[in-house]
Structure 1
Amino acid sequence: MIPPLPSTLPPLPGFNNGVWLKGDWHMHCRHSTDSSNNPQSRIIGFAETLGFDYLAITDHDVHVQGAVAQNTWADPEYTSESVLLFYGAELTAPRGHVNILSAEPYDHQAIFDARNARDWDLLKLKHDLGIHWSANHPHHKNHYGFSFDLADSIEIWNTSIWPKNIPSVRIWDDQLLSGRMLGARGGSDSHHGMPDDPALIVPLTIERSGNYVGTPTTWIYATDRGKPAILTALKQGRASVSSNPYNPRVELLADTTGTGQFDMMMGDNAIPTGAHVTFEVRLLGGGIPGANYQVRVIKNRSDFATLLTDATTRTVRFTDTPSPTDRSYYRVEIEGPQAPYPEVPNSMALSQNMVALSNPIYFNYDPEF
């Protein structure tokens, strides 16, 4: 069934009263048996030092037979005065991996026990528990094999190794083109703590020396600093992803009225009028001063334009006319020089020239699909 075009949509929520928050949605501590040198105190302390706003420590539930509440969550080290800690775990099932996320404790054992149930039964359980279901690394040896109708978000950037994520981005584009509004996020999926001795960083394996908290970093634009608001924004796609926390945050805005005032941002959905729409790409904070960044604009899974940001304003604009009779989405990818991440120095080379990417702006999407 082709999703219908909407006849009406709720008013655009606006974006003048929110706050940008940075964090990491996917990592493992010592309660995952394939993790090493990575107690929660190390992870959380690192995040606190670098000014992260939120974290999700998502240990493999299969390693404790689903008892994450008695292990990860009950660990005395699972605490922070400055970083918001989500309750969650990585559902580790034959059909793939899912990050289950929640603002408050929930019955993860019920999810674990039902991991091989039919998707429609899992959908009901998801709604009953009030959890966020996020598809992990869809193109991977442990790929996401559940229905995307279950997913509230999708991990399109897993670890600092950018090239391995290109097929995952394609899968995301396929879902967007099919009519789904699916918010995208990143996740370091870090399993191993950085060594205490900096001299040991370079000789270590790639995973142990080039991937840690914030590789990549997901920026969330939430209505407030509370965990429920952050999860709502993640589902809406009011987010962008940077290869590390020192790189710029990308924002994509749109002016649909021609007044010079931007009334849409990433995750927003509107009915087009047939008039020209002006889009602006902004790079904020971090990055390399004076650098020109390349902006690749993707419209409906295809390349639309390749642009360069102004070195001073770090912005660029483009225009298009979204079809009033079809769905359209626009998103951007940013390439250029990597900002150094001194605490995780080998991550720069692994990310190559991919600096950041945005969630889409939508036109004519059915929000109920």
Structure 2
Amino acid sequence: MACLHGVAVGQPASRTNPWEPKAIGELPPIASLTDGMWLKGELHIHSRHSKDASNNPIAKIVDFSKAVGMDYLAITDHDNHVQGDVANHTWADPEFKSDSILMLYSSEWTTSRGHGNVFSATPYDNQRLYDVREQRDVVVEAVKKGLGVHLSANHPAGGNPWGYSYDMVESIEIWNSALWPKNANAVVIWDRVMLSAGRMVTGRGGSDTHHGIPDPEKGEKEEQNTRQAAYNYVGTPTTWVFATSRTSQAVIDALNNGRVSISLNPYAPRVEFYADLDQDGTMDMMMGDNAKSTGKPVKFRVQLAGSLVPGGTYTISVVKNGRKFEAFELSDGTATVEFTDTPAALGRTYYRVEVQGPPTPYPEVPKSVEISDNMVGFSNPIYFNFDPNF
């Protein structure tokens, strides 16, 4: 199994070692998942430090996240609203703390050529990245690498689409907000521009919430903006990471290495995706792993972890190299499906999973399920013969 390696502070986020293709004998079994844990969180949300946000102080975001069981949180305020100085605004806010949630250091890098979220386990000099926002990609890339941060392309097919090279990002926001249909083109970009071209770029989610839910007990009144919070707030969608420990750095490492699954909300089932290379009954790979194909059949397993909607039927769609490969239905409480296929001995092959079905209720954000179009979750790919130095 491709192991997760920490990225040292101040060093560029790198996949070269953990993504090196492994042979069967080099992949220890992972079926017990004793080498890590699933953590869920929010990777795109705005507090009062973004000028286009309202009724959303950091304390409200943190308290809400804690109430719905989030493990980590990235508050991504627009850096152009403070001329790049998020360190003395969002991060310096006395409310930027939690006794139970891992708080990532982050911002939304807001430029005329698109928006991207920056994620880090420790404070970094966002000003340096802000100051080169209008320069050539090679300049931006050098600064980003020097900072050792994770850069993610936001809403690449929507408003403010990504206009930089995708070679400079570690992840892409394929699911932005609870409104699923608007994200279909982002998934096309992920498949055709990134994965099919040999880029092992992680797919992740983010609510992109700007407005907080009104609290009548505090005299807060519902306004036009804050009505949106009934449809879209923390965790719509939720991004799960398979982390080696409950630390901020482990969250970043998981994002770097594709150990990521996305669910409709914190209570919706999580998609898990594994592969048994030698078909001995023990899973050898999980999403994010990259192995050398032997030209022999591989058994894959998809399972939905967590609570399924009683009586619901879920459609498991397997995507191979950007095209729908197979579809399965799960019902009557069944949460696992297996299939077999042979990755090409030469050339790249990847598989990923999409899940549609009955939306799991989210009482704290009740109307979010109305606009989900029954999209339940995504896995990241399992890779074969990908070149980490492409």
TM-score category (smaller protein): over 0.9
Letter in 1 for 2:199: R
Partner of residue 199, structure 2? 180
Matches within 5 A, 1:16-31: 16-31=34-49
Partner of residue 325, structure 1? 346
Query: Residues of 2 paired with 1:299 and 1:220: CA distance?
Result: 22
Query: Residues of 2 paired with 1:151 and 1:314: CA distance?
Result: 33
Q: 1:122 aligns with which of 112, 126, 140?
A: 140
Partner of residue 341, structure 1? 362
Query: Residues of 2 paired with 1:281 and 1:206: CA distance?
Result: 37
Query: Residues of 2 paired with 1:156 and 1:237: CA distance?
Result: 13
Which range is displaced more, 191-200 or 164-173? 191-200
**RMSD value over aligned CA atoms?**
1.9
Matches within 5 A, 1:68-79: 68-79=86-97
Q: 2:180 aligns with which of 153, 159, 162?
A: 162
Query: Residues of 2 paired with 1:271 and 1:255: CA distance?
Result: 13
Partner of residue 5, structure 2? none
Count of equivalent residues: 364
Question: Residues 294 and 309 of structure 1 are in contact (CA less than 8 Å); yes or no, is this contact kept in structure 2?
Answer: yes
- Offset at residue 226 of structure 1 (A): 1.1
Query: Residues of 2 paired with 1:168 and 1:269: CA distance?
Result: 23
Query: Residues of 1 paired with 2:262 and 2:300: CA distance?
Result: 19
1:259 aligns with 2:280: yes
Unaligned runs of 5+ in 2: 1-18
Query: Residues of 1 paired with 2:255 and 2:131: CA distance?
Result: 26
Query: Residues of 2 paired with 1:204 and 1:65: CA distance?
Result: 25
1:305 aligns with 2:326: yes
Matches within 5 A, 1:341-360: 341-360=362-381
Partner of residue 239, structure 1? 260
Query: Residues of 2 paired with 1:203 and 1:341: CA distance?
Result: 21
Question: 3-state DSSP class of the match of 1:69?
Answer: helix
Which range is displaced more, 194-203 or 143-152? 194-203
Which range is displaced more, 236-245 or 301-310? 301-310
Question: Residues 281 and 316 of structure 1 are in contact (CA less than 8 Å); yes or no, is this contact kept in structure 2?
Answer: yes
Query: Residues of 2 paired with 1:9 and 1:254: CA distance?
Result: 13
- Offset at residue 310 of structure 1 (A): 4.7
Partner of residue 158, structure 2? 140
Flag the 1:176–1:233 CA change in 2: closer, same or farther, 3 A. same
Partner of residue 364, structure 1? 385
Deviations 1:34-90 (A, max 9, x none): 000000000000011111100000000011111111100000000100000000100
Flag the 1:357–1:200 CA change in 2: closer, same or farther, 3 A. farther
Deviations 1:177-201 (A, max 9, x none): 0011111110000000012149987
1:220 aligns with 2:241: yes
Query: Residues of 2 paired with 1:252 and 1:8: CA distance?
Result: 18
Identity of aligned residues (%): 52
Question: Residues 18 and 224 of structure 1 are in contact (CA less than 8 Å); yes or no, is this contact kept in structure 2?
Answer: yes
Deviations 1:218-276 (A, max 9, x none): 01001111111111111111110001111000001111111011101000011111111
Question: Residues 210 and 344 of structure 1 are in contact (CA less than 8 Å); yes or no, is this contact kept in structure 2?
Answer: yes
Letter in 1 for 2:181: P
Q: 2:210 aligns with which of 174, 191, 206?
A: 191
Which range is displaced more, 190-199 or 246-255? 190-199
Which range is displaced more, 193-202 or 79-88? 193-202
Letter in 1 for 2:377: A
Given the two structures, how large is their TM-score scaled by the length of structure 2?
0.90
Letter in 2 for 1:251: E
Question: 3-state DSSP class of the match of 2:366?
Answer: coil
Question: 3-state DSSP class of the match of 1:26?
Answer: strand
Query: Residues of 2 paired with 1:7 and 1:27: CA distance?
Result: 33
Partner of residue 80, structure 1? 98
Query: Residues of 2 paired with 1:293 and 1:197: CA distance?
Result: 37
Question: 3-state DSSP class of the match of 2:354?
Answer: strand
Letter in 1 for 2:243: A
